[in-house]
Structure 1
Amino acid sequence: MSRRADFDWETIRAEYEAGSSQVALSKKHGCSRGAIQKHIAAEGWAQDVTPVIQRKVAEKVAGVVAGCSPEKKAAALDEAADRTAAVVTRHRDEWDDHKQLVTNAIAEQDFGKAKLAKITAETLKIRQDGERKAWGLDSGQRTGDINVSINGDDEGVL
């Protein structure tokens, strides 16, 4: 058997996640079944293709090419994180602007401005919900929720 460092674990993982059995992979790549099991447990390999497809899509969106160097992969992932963080920051800034609109409407007791604030809140929520889905921001991780309440009714969390 070869040393552990000699195995192409990315290829073994890809073949496992595509449906190959541990025994077949062990025979094909010359590593022990136990070593494969350790990688499965440590790295969360799964034969359900849904998470694999999601990971591959995320890599493609981030600009990560299979087999690229760790430096290029890290740079691509960092750039993707920066783009995503910019979306979250913009969403927060938009709600800060909206808060000022509401504050002014209340201070001036201006029904027209209050109505505009309500419409603006609804529009922001719809657009930002769509952007959050498009950017994959609602996959269970939250970066700071914003509760939107209109006329005392809870409209949802952004």
Structure 2
Amino acid sequence: MKTLTLAAIAALLPVTALAHDGMHINDAYVRSTNPQVGAVFLQLENHRQVPCTLHSVTTKAAERAELHTHLEEDGVMKMGRIEGGIPVEPGQTHDLARGGDHVMLLGLTDPLTDGDSLTLTLDFGDCGTEEAEAVVDNQRSPEDAAAASEADPHAGH
């Protein structure tokens, strides 16, 4: 009996190790200030042994999704596309947060209502793709988002 129990535990160990490997998407949420556009915020967490780069995001909720960031030019904040993707080194995290990097949803197929959720497919190139659910939360303040990410960094698994 003892041998059988140990064999069962040993068989599960590789599965447990794989469950924490890969890219993790934490605390994904969406905001929309008008019926045509929205923005996705989340945390990327790299549990792989190699750098991974987020190249693109797709969703059925919008005609297209683009990686964007905010840049200061001549004292004015402007939003622009991120060329080349968003790299995340092994063991590191990268926050897509208000006022910084984020995913712009352009040409929304339906208005985004608080409490709704949408499925995102994140393309990490050689590191594969990951799916995540993002909840529409138009009431969340930037402080609430930071607190949620710090309180439970694994909320998106």
Q: For the superposition of Structure 1 and Structure 2, which TM-score range results when normalised by the shorter chain?
A: under 0.3
TM-score normalised per structure 1 = 0.24
Relative to total residues, which structure has the larger helix share, 1 or 2? 1
Relative to total residues, which structure has the larger strand share, 1 or 2? 2
User: Which structure has the larger Rg over C-alpha atoms?
Assistant: 1
